[in-house]
């Protein structure tokens, strides 16, 4: 078994086995606590430039398949697991995880004490690191980690946004469809009657495909524009609403995106997810800050302040909206139950709302899928 | 919304005795519920018949009734205590069924008692298979094709639609009792008929077979605001066809994609919402076709369950505690996550390790039973192990099972490479049929070169699991190739430990010794590290020290506090017959006692059902197998000041010598003393010195010696292997023929250890004594007179505190003898003695049968009967507080009679003879209390589910002439009570001769009608049958076995028959009343 190593900027080095692609990569090292969904996570553009470790120790068990892909390619710089399965066991599987990473050029590390790594990140906060199957000298690796660029102030969106505009037509497939939830005795609440078709422009900063699938399944015609599009370009499509997608990195490095959103607020119904949520906040005058080690996982509890109920959410963000900086026109609608950070916002006068977490799931629970219906309602009858 | 203020008193129903399908997990859940509700200021009233529980300790609930779990008794408790609500979802199926019965009879409505947690409608929807299925169809979830039938004819119609194999499940039976798969029509008819008989409502579900599908469980919680979370997913290693209680199970689910998992999660919420479990936990079982992904709902439990206990231990999330809080109005997000203290209980645990549970079986006790695993649960216990990979957890679990294996092969029990190595045909046959040994044959298959694909096609076990096993086998080959400890590379050695290999296995593979492996790997810096079970995969800091071992870089155990002592308590491991909840009770009390003394308590155990493995029972919890290596590894890390080995049953005692030799500070009675009590020669000298008698006895290492010894000792004699708990292979021999047969078997079971031969004292009264000695003073906590005569295993007989027939002089003599022995032995802590009192020439003579300087199975019963917290006092003694310093200077004198009765698993093992003997076969116990022995005995029988009839027909059949004489007296009293009698020819003749009206019965082979026909038709209501010969093939054995199947009580000893008649007489005149334990022992209650 070939060796590989991960070095952190604080001087810690973990030696393990190489899997996936060979090579040397640097990036912010973070962890995700989801126990399933590694393929969706690997293909989530928001992980651009990061080295991710899964807290679940055995990864790759069910292999990979075509349906669990969330973007055109694997986005992560490096992937770290306690143990990678050498076989793929599922009727959907088309390949093993190791071969998948190798083909995609993602450098992998297995066989390290991932819990020790996670505890270090939790205590010290996110750190820059270098993962290599080529350089195995501890001192050199640490030096490289210290030299590597951090996330703050970097525009990673440009690396993942599409070049061209496109039309999205694929709805959720059967397996991606949340099951309707009955009330006692097995009765379903009366479903809202079908709406007429609406046109949504989705600004793609590195959008997960399941968002577009959800929008399509809600009955919208979806035009996807690169995240760098201006408000004029967006409005030229005469959309009934604009969707602001997720995406990687520091939102404060994205002045051009913030400008677009500022110009759209009040002109057209807006809904943002994750980076889209942060951009909306910034556009309204709020500030964002970097969390110590972020929220990445599928078990984050979020309270819906309007109903007082809790949804278990899928999350992937290292930055959050600073509550102290909120302008009066923004109202907090959702809040993280663990650390109290803002998870959802609503504009009091303009027709705009956003959430920090991922209602499209993939990977993760379906509890918040209602938000797509709510967006559809925001677009009018 | 915080707690409800309109409720003040809440009734909690326990689950009664430990039986297959309902074990310690409900003591764990009930105890948590009591604590949770009292913490919120509610007055908790608890009813449970099982004295061996922590929940029935006087300090756990406000009002504790150790009374039979029947609706009649519960109504009496309700009348006295006037609860506002009943919480029926924490006491297993027993509590749920009782609450439903109380509701159906209008008792809850009459007394204004509200059902909280789940309402009757929801319980019915979840439990009634037909309504459940309809509900599932309504919400669009797939279920098994098939339906409920009420007759054989109807069942055959369904069969025509679904085809064979077909699954048969009777409604409303415990642990799926009577369930099974039929492969042919004959089997189908038989199983349907039996199911119809077993089901209390005469209903059987007939369904398509989903054999070989993947099986999953989801543990779901919901609060009154409709917030719902999944606490844990569980994947069964054994595919559908094996009851989940008998399956090896794994948490979390290992082989589902996120989409597949989320589909199951959505479906779980849809189920709990449609069924309408308003608050609390539910368990929902799914089957998935691995070819197509088709997912069907198998069933749900609208209550906490064995799986929820497992899920709690696997994740650190206390399901029962939170369920209790939700039932009184709290919302999930209003409750703290105890482990992190910073976050809330409204989340889904993420775990960064793999949990494997392996069931423990007891077929050696029931050689006539079918050991194939089916949809009816047969295991008696389980062990759980945590590791960073499946491989590691799996090997840990196999050694935690305590069946002589130290991992996945390469240990003392391995047949591979021996003369008994199975053939390829043998292997194929054995892996295809699930039984307790299949797991070893999976290894042999891989050793024989079978591929994962082949093995999957034979077993339907998921290829991912099989590949994990293959990896273990492959690493084993690498290690064997190295061949010696000196030659092994450090990297490979470390990898072996990470794969879960024990030092013992490495010793076998490398031709070394366990201790040499240990020393060498420690020299190379390969030591166990301990990680926390923290609910959150390290995202937040864990405040509770709940650990498991692995072999990685970072250790998370907390350092010793300066000036504070640390004492380690070794638990009992998986439940088995002979070692169960009683020992866990003692271990928990050790923690409580140490806490009171300011000593840091450290629990080590591997049984997920127990209170001892609750994270807040001790100051530190290590969820680890109880082997010498695992214990020493923990000790290396935490440096205990003391180790307690005398409370966890035989498991820790078997380790005592090795731990002591390795330098661990064993506290209490010394290892030498423990061994001396086992050393027959030294013990005999001691008894001689004390002037105590022992039955003639001998010891034999060869068959020749055994023959010589038995000639000297004479018949009847008792033959048994040494160093075996629970009377395994112990038999009474009346002649040479029997002797030759049993002694051979005893040598096999003894595995190289000697066989013991004792003169058997016929018709003697057996007495158990539990005492506490601090090395100087002795307290005799309880003297228990057995109901059944000597010869019936003490764990299987009923007994009474105080003795109901022995004179005060004899009891004093017994106490003096016990005191003398404890002092002379230098016992520090607990000691149990078994005596026999035999009338010789008209005067009772005392014999010492056995002495065990350790906690016994009866310790909790004695504590409940006397009010003295026996185990706690003993632990304080071990920790250095003398009895005098504890203010205990006199033996407790109970004011009432307490009867303990044993409960047996015969209903799970069709056709097994139930006659009692020297081999223990009971799984649990109940207690009946009253001022009068007869009423206490009657209560114990009711509590044990022995329905003594008030009228009807009694079948009598006794063997010996003396027995017939005794039976005449009993028969006369039965006739006076208005019973009709029927009897076998000999017994009938004896009765007729004295003018007692009796109807003689044919022998079974003499045609019909015989007593079996009467049993089947419900025309016999009680059987008194003392065995002449044992075994399922004898006529009487068949009758006894049939009595179990038809639910007719069958009493197999004369003293028990005598006690039953007394009880039936007393029940005519006395009303059974209830009394709380706090009123029996007001001082204890006040001091708590």
Q: Which CATH number is A157-378's, of 3.10.20.340, 3.40.50.880, 3.75.10.10, 3.20.20.120? A: 3.40.50.880
Residue B347 confidence class, pLDDT cut points 50, 70, 90: very high
* CA pair distance B83, B44, nearest whole angstrom: 9
Mean pLDDT on A173-188: 92
- pLDDT at residue B1 in the model: 62
Token readout for B91 is: 């006491």
- Min Cα separation B166/chain A (Å): 26
Half-sphere exposure for A128 (CA within 13 Å, toward CB): 17
The overall pTM is greater than 0.90: yes
- pLDDT at residue B179 in the model: 83
- pLDDT at residue A23 in the model: 96
Token readout for A23 is: 């090579």
- pLDDT at residue B132 in the model: 94
Mean pLDDT on A270-283: 98
From the list B259, B276, B343, which residue is nearest A176 (CB)?
Answer: B259
- pLDDT at residue B791 in the model: 84
Q: What is the DSSP letter of A183?
A: B
Asked if A20 reaches chain B (Cβ–Cβ under 8 Å), the answer is no
Token readout for A59 is: 């990864």
- pLDDT at residue B802 in the model: 96
Q: Which CATH number is A3-147's, of 3.40.50.10470, 3.50.30.20, 3.40.50.920, 3.90.550.10? A: 3.50.30.20
- pLDDT at residue B1087 in the model: 47
* CA pair distance B641, B564, nearest whole angstrom: 10
Within 10 angstroms of residue B153's Cβ, the number of other Cβ atoms is 9
Give chain A positions within 8 Å (CB) of B452. 87
The answer to whether the Cβ–Cβ distance between B274 and A183 falls below 8 Å is yes
Inter-helix orientation angle B438-447/B452-459, to 10°? 150
Residue B267 confidence class, pLDDT cut points 50, 70, 90: very high
Within 10 angstroms of residue B845's Cβ, the number of other Cβ atoms is 15
The answer to whether residue A192 scores a pLDDT higher than 70 is: no
- C-alpha Rg value of chain B to the nearest Å: 28
Mean pLDDT on B49-67: 97
For B453, which residue in chain A has the nearest alpha carbon? A89
Mean pLDDT on A343-371: 97
Mean pLDDT on B1005-1020: 87
- pLDDT at residue B29 in the model: 96
Residue A360: partners with Cβ closer than 8 Å, 6 or more residues away: A208, A210, A211, A213, A214, A273, A314, A369, A372
Longest Cα–Cα distance of chain B, Å, equals 86
- pLDDT at residue B180 in the model: 85
Three-class DSSP category at A143:
helix
* CA pair distance A236, A264, nearest whole angstrom: 12
Please classify residue B702 by burial: count the beta carbons closer than 10 Å to its beta carbon, then call 0-12 exposed, 13-18 middle and 19+ buried.
Answer: exposed
Helix (H) or strand (E) holding B773: strand B765-774
The answer to whether residue B598 scores a pLDDT higher than 80 is: yes
The model's pLDDT over B977-995, given as tens digits with 9 standing for 90+, comes to 999 999 988 889 999 999 9
The answer to whether residue B176 scores a pLDDT higher than 70 is: no
Give chain A positions within 8 Å (CB) of B531. 115
Instruction: Report the complex ipTM.
Output: 0.98
* CA pair distance B817, B485, nearest whole angstrom: 53
* Residue of A62, A302, A315 best to disrupt the B interface, most CBs of B under 10 A: A62
The answer to whether the Cβ–Cβ distance between A337 and B333 falls below 8 Å is yes
Longest Cα–Cα distance of chain A, Å, equals 65
The model's pLDDT over B68-123, given as tens digits with 9 standing for 90+, comes to 999 999 999 999 999 999 999 999 999 999 999 999 999 999 999 999 999 999 99
Helix (H) or strand (E) holding A330: strand A330-336
Entry field: residues in chain A: 381
Mean pLDDT on B1006-1010: 86
Inter-helix orientation angle A370-378/A209-217, to 10°? 60
The model's pLDDT over B756-796, given as tens digits with 9 standing for 90+, comes to 898 989 889 999 999 999 999 999 999 999 999 888 999 99
For B452, which residue in chain A has the nearest alpha carbon? A87
The answer to whether residue B467 scores a pLDDT higher than 90 is: yes
Mean pLDDT on B363-385: 92
- pLDDT at residue B200 in the model: 78
Interface of A with B in 125-184 (CB under 8 A): 175-176, 178-184
- Is A89 in contact with B463 (CB distance < 8 Å)? yes
- Min Cα separation A176/chain B (Å): 6
Helix (H) or strand (E) holding B834: strand B828-840
The answer to whether the Cβ–Cβ distance between A118 and B353 falls below 8 Å is no
Mean pLDDT on B258-262: 98
Give chain B positions within 8 Å (CB) of A57. 352-354, 388-389
Give chain A positions within 8 Å (CB) of B274. 182-186
CA B303 vs CA B34, B124, B323, B386, B490: distances in Å: 16, 12, 9, 25, 49
* CA pair distance A232, B155, nearest whole angstrom: 71
List the beta bridge partners of residue B720: B756
Apex CA B950: angle with CA B946 and CA B953, to 5°? 90
The answer to whether the Cβ–Cβ distance between A366 and B262 falls below 8 Å is yes
* Residue of B1, B257, B467 best to disrupt the A interface, most CBs of A under 10 A: B257
* CA pair distance B32, B26, nearest whole angstrom: 9
Mean pLDDT on B842-871: 95
Give chain A positions within 8 Å (CB) of B264. none
Mean pLDDT on B311-331: 97
Mean pLDDT on A285-314: 96
The model's pLDDT over B894-925, given as tens digits with 9 standing for 90+, comes to 989 999 999 999 988 888 888 888 889 999 99
Given A28, A274, A295, A343, the catalytic residue: A274
CA A189 vs CA A182, B274, B735, B781, B863: distances in Å: 7, 12, 77, 63, 55
The answer to whether residue B1086 scores a pLDDT higher than 70 is: no
Mean of the per-residue pLDDT values of chain B = 93
Mean pLDDT on B149-161: 94
Apex CA B416: angle with CA B414 and CA B420, to 5°? 90
Asked if A309 reaches chain B (Cβ–Cβ under 8 Å), the answer is yes
Q: What is the DSSP letter of A265?
A: T
List the beta bridge partners of residue B143: B297
Please classify residue B863 by burial: count the beta carbons closer than 10 Å to its beta carbon, then call 0-12 exposed, 13-18 middle and 19+ buried.
Answer: buried
The answer to whether residue B1085 scores a pLDDT higher than 60 is: no
* CA pair distance B798, B784, nearest whole angstrom: 9
Mean pLDDT on B177-184: 86
* CA pair distance B1026, B1020, nearest whole angstrom: 17
Token readout for B415 is: 């047949």
Residue B631: partners with Cβ closer than 8 Å, 6 or more residues away: B568, B570, B604, B624, B643, B655, B659, B664
The answer to whether the Cβ–Cβ distance between A337 and B344 falls below 8 Å is yes
* CA pair distance B185, B156, nearest whole angstrom: 9
The answer to whether the Cβ–Cβ distance between B537 and A91 falls below 8 Å is no
For A59, which residue in chain B has the nearest alpha carbon? B254
Pick the closest to residue B100 from B200, B197, B8 (CA basis): B200
Inter-helix orientation angle B680-690/B671-678, to 10°? 90
Give start-end residues of each CATH 3.50.30.20 domain in chain A. Answer: 3-147
The answer to whether residue B1036 scores a pLDDT higher than 90 is: no
Q: For chains A and B, count residue pairs whose Cβ atoms are closer than 8 Å.
A: 198
Asked if A337 reaches chain B (Cβ–Cβ under 8 Å), the answer is yes
Mean pLDDT on B429-444: 96
Three-class DSSP category at B633:
helix
The model's pLDDT over A60-109, given as tens digits with 9 standing for 90+, comes to 999 999 999 999 889 899 999 999 999 999 999 999 999 999 999 999 99
- pLDDT at residue B728 in the model: 74
Helix (H) or strand (E) holding B176: none
Three-class DSSP category at B626:
coil
- Is A371 in contact with A292 (CB distance < 8 Å)? no
- pLDDT at residue A102 in the model: 96
- pLDDT at residue B831 in the model: 97
Apex CA B449: angle with CA B444 and CA B453, to 5°? 100
Residue B600 confidence class, pLDDT cut points 50, 70, 90: very high
The answer to whether residue B465 scores a pLDDT higher than 90 is: yes
- pLDDT at residue B1003 in the model: 84
* CA pair distance B582, B24, nearest whole angstrom: 10
Residue A358 designated active-site: yes
The answer to whether residue B175 scores a pLDDT higher than 60 is: no
- pLDDT at residue B1076 in the model: 95
Residue A274 designated active-site: yes
For A312, which residue in chain B has the nearest alpha carbon? B347
The answer to whether residue B597 scores a pLDDT higher than 50 is: yes
Give chain A positions within 8 Å (CB) of B136. 186
Apex CA B462: angle with CA B456 and CA B464, to 5°? 105
Residue B425: partners with Cβ closer than 8 Å, 6 or more residues away: none
Give start-end residues of each CATH 3.40.50.880 domain in chain A. Answer: 157-378
* Residue of B134, B258, B297, B536 best to disrupt the A interface, most CBs of A under 10 A: B258
- Is B188 in contact with B166 (CB distance < 8 Å)? yes
Pick the closest to residue B465 from B216, B645, B255 (CA basis): B255
């Amino acid at each position: 078994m070939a060796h590989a190593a991960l070095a952190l900027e604080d001087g810690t080095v973990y030696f393990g086995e190489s899997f996936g692609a060979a090579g040397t990569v640097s990036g912010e090292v973070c962890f995700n606590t989801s126990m399933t969904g590694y393929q969706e996570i690997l293909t989530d553009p928001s992980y651009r430039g990061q080295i991710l470790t899964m807290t679940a120790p055995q990864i790759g068990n069910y292999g990979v398949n075509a349906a669990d892909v969330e973007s055109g390619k694997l986005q992560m710089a490096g992937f770290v697991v306690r143990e990678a399965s050498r076989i793929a066991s599922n009727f959907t599987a088309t390949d093993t995880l190791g071969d998948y990473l190798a083909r995609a050029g993602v450098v992998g590390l297995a066989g390290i004490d991932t819990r020790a790594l996670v505890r270090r990140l939790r205590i010290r906060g996110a750190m820059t690191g270098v993962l290599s199957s080529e350089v195995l000298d501890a001192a050199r690796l640490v030096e490289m980690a210290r030299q590597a660029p951090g996330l703050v102030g970097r525009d990673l969106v440009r690396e993942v946004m599409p070049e061209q505009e496109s039309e999205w037509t694929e709805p959720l497939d059967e397996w991606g469809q949340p099951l309707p939830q009955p009330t006692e005795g097995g009765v379903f609440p009366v479903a809202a009657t079908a709406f007429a078709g609406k046109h949504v422009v989705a600004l793609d900063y590195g959008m997960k495909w399941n968002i577009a699938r959800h929008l399509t399944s809600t009955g919208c015609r979806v035009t996807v524009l690169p995240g760098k599009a201006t408000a004029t370009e967006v409005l030229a499509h005469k959309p009934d609403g604009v969707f602001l997608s997720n995406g990687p990195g520091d939102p404060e490095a994205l002045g051009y995106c913030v400008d677009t959103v500022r110009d759209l607020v009040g002109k057209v119904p807006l809904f943002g997810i994750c980076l889209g949520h942060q951009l909306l906040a910034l556009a309204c005058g709020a500030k964002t800050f970097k969390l110590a080690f972020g929220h990445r996982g599928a078990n984050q509890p979020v309270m819906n302040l309007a109903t007082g109920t809790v949804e278990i959410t899928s999350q992937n963000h290292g930055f959050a909206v600073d509550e102290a900086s909120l302008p009066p026109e923004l109202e907090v609608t959702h809040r993280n139950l663990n650390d109290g950070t803002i998870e959802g916002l609503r504009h009091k006068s303009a027709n705009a709302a956003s959430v920090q977490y991922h209602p499209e799931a993939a990977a993760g629970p379906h509890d918040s899928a209602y938000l797509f219906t709510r967006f559809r309602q925001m677009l009018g009858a | 919304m915080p707690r409800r203020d309109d409720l003040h008193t809440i009734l909690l129903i326990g689950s009664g005795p430990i039986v297959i399908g309902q074990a310690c997990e409900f003591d764990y859940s009930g105890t948590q519920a009591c604590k949770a509700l009292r913490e919120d200021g509610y007055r908790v009233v608890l009813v449970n018949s099982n004295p061996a529980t922590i929940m029935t300790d006087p300090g756990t609930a406000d009002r504790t009734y150790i009374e039979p779990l029947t609706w009649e008794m519960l109504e009496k408790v309700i009348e006295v205590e006037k609860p506002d609500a009943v919480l029926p979802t924490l006491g297993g199926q027993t509590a749920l069924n009782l609450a439903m019965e109380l509701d159906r009879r209008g008792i809850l409505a009459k007394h204004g008692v509200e059902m909280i947690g789940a309402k009757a409608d929801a319980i019915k929807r979840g439990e009634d298979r037909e309504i459940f299925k309809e509900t599932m169809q309504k919400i669009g979830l797939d279920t098994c094709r098939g339906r409920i039938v009420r007759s054989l004819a109807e069942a055959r119609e369904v069969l025509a639609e679904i085809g064979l194999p077909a699954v048969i499940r009777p409604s409303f039976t415990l642990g799926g009792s009577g369930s099974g798969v039929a492969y042919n029509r004959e089997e189908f008819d038989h199983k349907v008929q039996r199911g119809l008989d077993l089901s209390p409502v005469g209903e059987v579900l007939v369904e398509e077979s989903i054999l070989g599908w993947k099986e999953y469980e989801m543990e779901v919680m919901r609060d009154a605001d409709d917030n719902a979370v999944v606490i844990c997913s569980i994947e069964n290693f054994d595919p559908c066809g094996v009851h989940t209680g008998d399956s090896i199970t794994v948490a979390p689910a290992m082989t589902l994609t996120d989409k597949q998992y989320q589909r199951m999660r959505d479906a779980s919420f849809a189920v709990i919402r449609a069924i309408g479990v308003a608050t609390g936990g539910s368990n929902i079982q799914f089957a998935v076709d691995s070819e197509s992904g088709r997912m069907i709902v198998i069933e749900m439990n609208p209550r906490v369950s064995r799986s929820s206990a497992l899920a709690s231990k696997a994740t650190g999330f206390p399901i029962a505690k939170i369920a209790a809080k939700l039932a009184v109005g709290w919302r999930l997000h209003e409750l703290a996550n105890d482990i992190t203290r910073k976050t809330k209980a409204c989340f889904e645990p993420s775990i960064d390790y793999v949990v494997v549970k392996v069931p423990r079986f007891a077929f050696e006790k029931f050689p006539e039973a079918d050991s194939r695993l089916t949809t009816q649960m047969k295991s008696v216990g389980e062990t759980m192990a945590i590791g960073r990979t499946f491989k590691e957890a799996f090997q840990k679990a196999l050694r935690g099972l305590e069946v002589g294996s130290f991992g996945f092969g390469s240990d003392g029990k391995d047949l591979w490479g021996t003369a008994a190595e199975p053939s390829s045909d043998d292997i194929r046959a054995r892996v295809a049929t699930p039984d307790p040994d299949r797991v070893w044959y999976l290894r042999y298959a891989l050793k024989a070169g079978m591929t994962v694909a082949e093995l999957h096609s034979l077993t339907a076990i998921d290829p991912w699991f099989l590949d994990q096993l293959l990896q273990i086998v492959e690493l084993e080959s690498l290690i064997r190739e190295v061949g010696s400890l000196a030659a092994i590379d450090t990297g490979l050695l470390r990898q072996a430990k990470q794969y879960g290999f024990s030092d013992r296995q490495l010793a076998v593979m490398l031709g070394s010794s366990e201790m040499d492996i240990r020393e060498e790997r420690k020299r190379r810096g390969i030591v166990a590290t301990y990680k926390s079970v923290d609910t959150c995969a390290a995202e937040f800091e864990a405040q509770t020290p709940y650990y498991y071992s692995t072999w990685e870089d970072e250790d998370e155990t907390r350092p010793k506090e300066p000036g504070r002592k640390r004492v380690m308590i070794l638990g009992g491991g998986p439940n088995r017959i002979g070692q169960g909840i009683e020992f866990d009770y003692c271990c928990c009390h050790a923690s409580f006692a140490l806490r009171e003394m300011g000593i840091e308590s450290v629990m080590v155990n591997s049984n997920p059902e127990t209170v001892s493995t609750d994270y807040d029972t001790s100051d530190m919890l290590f969820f680890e197998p109880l082997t010498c290596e695992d214990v020493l590894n923990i000790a290396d890390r935490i440096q205990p000041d003391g180790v307690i080995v005398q409370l966890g049953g035989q498991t820790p005692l078997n380790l005592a010598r090795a731990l002591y030799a390795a330098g661990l500070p064993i506290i209490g009675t010394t290892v030498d003393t423990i061994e001396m009590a086992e050393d027959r020669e030294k013990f005999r000298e001691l008894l001689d010195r004390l002037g105590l008698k022992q039955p003639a006895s001998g010891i034999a290492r060869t068959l020749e010696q055994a023959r010589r010894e038995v000639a000297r000792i004479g018949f009847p004699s008792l033959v048994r292997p040494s160093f075996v708990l629970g009377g395994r292979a112990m038999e009474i021999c009346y002649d040479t023929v029997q002797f030759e047969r049993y002694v051979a078997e005893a040598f096999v079971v003894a595995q190289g250890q000697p066989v013991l031969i004792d003169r058997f004292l016929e018709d003697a009264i057996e007495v158990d004594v539990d005492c506490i000695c601090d090395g100087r003073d002795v307290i005799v906590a309880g003297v228990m007179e057995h109901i059944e005569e000597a010869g019936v295993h003490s764990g299987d007989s009923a007994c009474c505190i105080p003795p109901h027939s022995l004179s005060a002089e004899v009891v004093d003599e017994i106490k003096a003898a016990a005191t003398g022995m404890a002092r002379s032995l230098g016992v520090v802590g607990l000691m149990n003695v078994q005596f026999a009192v035999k009338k010789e020439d008209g005067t009772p003579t005392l014999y010492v049968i056995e002495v065990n300087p350790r906690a016994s199975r009866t310790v909790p019963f004695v504590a409940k009967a006397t009010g003295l917290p026996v185990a706690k006092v003993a632990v304080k003694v071990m920790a250095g507080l003398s009895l005098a310093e504890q203010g205990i200077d006199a033996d407790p004198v109970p004011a009432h009679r307490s009867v303990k009765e044993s409960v047996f698993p015969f209903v799970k093992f069709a056709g097994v003879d139930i006659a009692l003997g020297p081999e223990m076969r009971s799984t649990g116990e109940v207690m009946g209390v009253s001022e009068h022995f007869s009423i206490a005995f009657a209560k114990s029988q009711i509590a044990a589910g022995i329905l003594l009839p008030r009228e009807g027909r009694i079948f009598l059949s006794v063997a010996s002439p003396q027995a017939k004489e005794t039976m005449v007296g009993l028969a006369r009293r039965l006739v006076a009570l208005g019973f009709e009698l029927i009897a076998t020819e000999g017994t009938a003749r004896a009765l007729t001769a004295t003018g007692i009206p009796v109807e003689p019965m044919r022998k079974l082979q003499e045609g019909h009608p015989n007593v079996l026909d009467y049993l089947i038709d419900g025309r016999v209501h009680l059987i008194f049958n003392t065995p002449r010969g044992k075994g399922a093939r004898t006529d009487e054995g068949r009758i006894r076995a049939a009595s179990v199947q038809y639910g007719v009580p069958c009493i197999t000893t004369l003293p028990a028959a005598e006690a039953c008649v007394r009880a039936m007489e007393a029940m005519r005149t006395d009303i059974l009343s209830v009394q709380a334990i706090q009123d029996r022992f007001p001082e204890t209650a006040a001091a708590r």
